[in-house]
Structure formats: structure tokens, C-alpha cells
């Protein structure tokens, strides 16, 4: 008799302990698919009384519609396989709101057969808020990692990613992809004369102009490094890419950012190399970038303030007031 009393007392102690925790214990009979027990804490959390949890249908109906199908199917499959599992979902409150729940479920066997499910529900709403905040912060950090801190446009890392994608796409579809490399002429002299603060402002202005020139959704501009910028133009012919490069050059010239120490003009100018390719196994993208970089070098060697492609060198068109200031330089070409 004493042993029976001890067992009953032990059960009462265990029940008291379970019902004093934040976790909500429950048990479902797999033969009837009905709750044989659920902790009274459920009413405090969701507003539904413990007596209202009759069958697993009550549980399923109180799962958010967007979560219900996946959660129910997963738990059913795992339970039938006799596998312990856990799942997260939004549970409906009696007042119409939702609480994030983590259900940790243990499969109980009796004489080798599936008998019941015993589980604990945990309120993980605060954890979910923290996780969502971390996801947002991670996204912001990723965006920052792909953005040039000075100019606000994409950086070299983003260029590498975008160019890899566009190269693969062009190779798969047999379409051209064009690349433009631009460099601010005599930028060291600009920094030496105007100071690095003004040099930074100059680069910001150049970036804004380049960003305004590209207009299609897939057109991409990035700061390549230092005073160099790069444009990736998907599905763009060499002729069209050349016109865009020339527009970049002319727009920056027309912006007339003063540069009295330039060996080219009295205002800031750029030089550019441009080329187009339909990617194939015969050329690697790194080799193509080197080719365009070589065209940029030729633009520098051709007197700067020009665009060089595989087949052409643009003629710099200089406003009269600027040409008058530096006649010797402009007339040498």
C-alpha cells in the first residue's frame, strides 16, 4: 500500500513540476488521435482552455493557414515513421493573434508498437523576433558588403558576382555581353591640388553621372577600384556599348568639374576601354577583362579623354571655352 501511495505521490509531484514550467506538456493517443493531456499553461499563452483541446484536429485548426499544411504533413510523416521531431509554427490565439510555437515531439512505443506522442510546446515569439532582426541586419550587412562606401554604387566584389552571372547567362544563351572600363584622367594631380576631400567628392560626382547614364534594369555600374569604374552591359552589341561609353565620357566632360592641373583639359575627363564578346569555351572572362583593360590603357596612350574599342578610337569633342584654354593639347590629335 505504501508503494502505491509513493507512486501516486510521485505522479502528483511530476505533474506539479510540469505545470509550473513555461513549457506546455501534452500527450496524444495515436489510436484515437485525441489529447489525453495538455498542460493548463496553454490557456495563459493562447487563451484556449485545456478542455478545448480534444483532438489533433483542434491543434491543426489553430495553426496559421500559411504554416498548417507543411507542419501537419511533416509531423504526421515523422510520427508514422516513429521518429522524434520538432517543428516551429504560428499558433492561433483566442483573440485572433498568433504566437510562435516550437513543438518538441517524442514518439512512445508500447510492446514494440506506436502508442502515443508526448511533447512540449515552447513560446519562441521573442526568439523569432530576434532571429528576424538578425536576418534583417545580415541582409543590410550583405548590401553594405556589396556597396562602395564612398560613392554608394556597387563595389568590386559586387562586380565580380554580377559579371560572373552575366557571363554565364550570355554563354548559355549565345548573347553578347559588353564591358566598359573607365578611369578618371590625371586623378593623382587632382588629389594633390584640390585635396583628398575634394577628390572624394569628384569620384562621387563621376559615380552619379555614370549611374544616370545606364538605364536598363540589367545595366550595371560599379567602382572598380581607386578612380576606375566598370560597366557591365548584358545583351548589348559593341556599337551600342561604344555609344554608352561615349555618352559617359561626354556627360562627365559637360559636367565641367574644374581640374586646372589636368594634362588634358581644365575640367575632369575620363578615358575608357570597351569591348563586346559572345562568351565561349575559347575565352575566359578574366582574359576578356584584361583585354578591355588593355583598351583602357590605349585610351590613356591616345591622349586621354577618349573611348577606345577593338575597332575605333573616339574623337574628343571639347566645348569652345575649354578648348581655348588648352589649345596645344587638343590640337596634337
Domain spans of the chain, in order of start: 2-129, 148-331
- Find residue 220's DSSP bridge partners: 232
Phi/psi at 141 (5° precision): -65, -40
DSSP code of residue 1? -
Count, in order, helices (H) and strands (E) of the chain: 12, 10
Tell me the C-alpha distance between 295 and 42, whole Å: 71
Position 331 scores a pLDDT of 24
User: What is the architecture, at CATH level 2, of domain 2-129?
Assistant: 2-Layer Sandwich (3.30)
Tell me the C-alpha distance between 293 and 260, whole Å: 27
User: Quick one: fold of 148-331?
Assistant: Alpha-Beta Plaits (3.30.70)
Position 17 scores a pLDDT of 54
Q: Compute CA distances 66 → 60, 63, 79, 89, 196, whole Å.
A: 12, 8, 21, 9, 54
Spatial CA neighbour of 180 closest among 272, 313, 279, 278 = 272
How many percent of the chain have pLDDT more than 70? 86
Confidence of residue 313 (pLDDT cuts 50, 70, 90): very low
DSSP code of residue 284? -
Average pLDDT over residues 98-107: 96
Confidence of residue 138 (pLDDT cuts 50, 70, 90): confident
53-87 confidence digits (pLDDT tens) = 999 999 999 999 999 999 999 999 999 999 999 99
Confidence of residue 316 (pLDDT cuts 50, 70, 90): very low
Tell me the C-alpha distance between 85 and 78, whole Å: 7
Average pLDDT over residues 94-115: 95
Q: With the CA atoms of 255, 258, 263 and 264 taken in that order, what torsion angle do they form, in degrees rounded to the nearest 10? A: 20
Q: Are the C-beta atoms of 274 and 178 separated by less than 8 Å?
A: yes
Position 113 scores a pLDDT of 93
The three-class DSSP label of residue 117 is: strand
The x, y and z cell numbers of residue 111, run together, are: 510492446
What is the set of active-site residues?
A: 227
Position 20 scores a pLDDT of 56
Residue 311 CB contacts under 8 Å (≥ 6 apart), including other chains: 238
Position 317 scores a pLDDT of 39
DSSP code of residue 96? S
What is this structure's pTM? 0.58
Residue 238 CB contacts under 8 Å (≥ 6 apart), including other chains: 176, 178, 274, 275, 276, 309, 310, 311
Tell me the C-alpha distance between 245 and 259, whole Å: 21
Q: Which of 6-20, 95-109, 241-255 has the lowest mean pLDDT?
A: 6-20
What is the separation, in whole angstroms, between the first and last Cα of the chain? Answer: 114
Q: Is the pLDDT of residue 318 over 60?
A: no
Spatial CA neighbour of 244 closest among 204, 219, 213 = 213
The x, y and z cell numbers of residue 60, run together, are: 491543426
Amino acid at each position: 500500500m505504501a508503494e502505491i501511495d509513493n507512486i501516486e505521490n510521485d505522479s502528483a509531484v511530476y505533474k506539479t513540476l510540469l505545470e509550473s514550467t513555461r513549457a506546455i506538456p501534452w500527450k496524444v493517443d495515436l489510436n484515437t488521435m485525441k489529447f489525453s493531456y495538455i498542460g493548463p499553461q496553454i490557456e495563459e499563452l493562447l487563451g484556449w482552455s485545456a478542455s478545448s483541446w480534444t483532438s489533433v484536429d483542434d491543434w491543426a485548426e489553430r495553426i496559421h493557414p500559411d504554416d498548417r499544411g507543411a507542419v501537419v504533413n511533416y509531423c504526421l510523416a515523422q510520427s508514422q515513421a516513429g521518429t522524434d521531431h520538432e517543428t516551429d509554427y504560428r499558433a492561433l490565439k483566442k483573440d485572433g493573434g498568433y504566437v510562435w510555437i516550437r513543438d518538441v515531439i517524442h514518439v512512445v512505443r508500447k510492446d514494440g508498437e506506436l502508442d502515443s506522442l508526448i511533447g512540449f510546446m515552447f513560446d519562441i515569439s521573442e526568439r523569432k523576433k530576434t532571429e528576424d532582426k538578425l536576418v534583417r541586419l545580415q541582409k543590410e550587412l550583405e548590401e553594405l558588403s556589396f556597396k562602395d562606401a564612398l560613392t554608394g554604387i556597387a563595389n568590386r566584389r559586387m562586380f565580380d558576382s554580377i559579371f560572373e552571372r552575366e557571363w554565364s547567362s550570355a554563354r548559355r544563351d549565345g548573347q553578347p555581353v559588353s564591358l566598359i572600363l573607365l578611369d578618371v584622367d590625371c586623378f593623382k594631380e587632382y588629389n594633390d591640388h584640390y585635396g583628398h576631400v575634394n577628390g572624394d567628392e569628384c569620384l562621387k560626382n563621376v559615380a552619379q553621372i555614370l549611374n544616370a547614364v545606364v538605364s536598363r534594369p540589367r545595366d550595371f555600374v560599379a567602382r572598380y577600384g581607386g578612380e576606375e569604374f566598370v560597366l557591365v552591359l548584358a545583351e548589348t552589341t559593341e556599337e551600342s556599348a561604344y555609344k554608352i561609353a561615349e555618352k559617359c565620357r561626354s556627360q562627365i566632360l559637360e559636367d565641367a568639374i574644374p581640374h586646372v592641373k589636368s594634362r588634358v583639359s581644365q575640367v575632369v575627363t575620363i578615358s575608357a576601354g570597351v569591348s563586346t564578346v559572345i562568351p565561349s569555351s575559347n575565352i575566359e572572362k578574366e582574359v576578356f577583362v584584361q583585354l578591355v583593360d588593355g583598351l583602357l590603357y590605349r585610351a590613356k596612350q591616345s591622349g586621354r579623354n577618349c573611348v577606345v574599342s577593338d575597332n575605333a578610337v573616339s574623337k574628343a569633342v571639347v566645348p569652345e571655352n575649354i578648348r581655348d584654354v588648352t589649345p596645344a593639347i587638343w590640337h596634337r590629335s
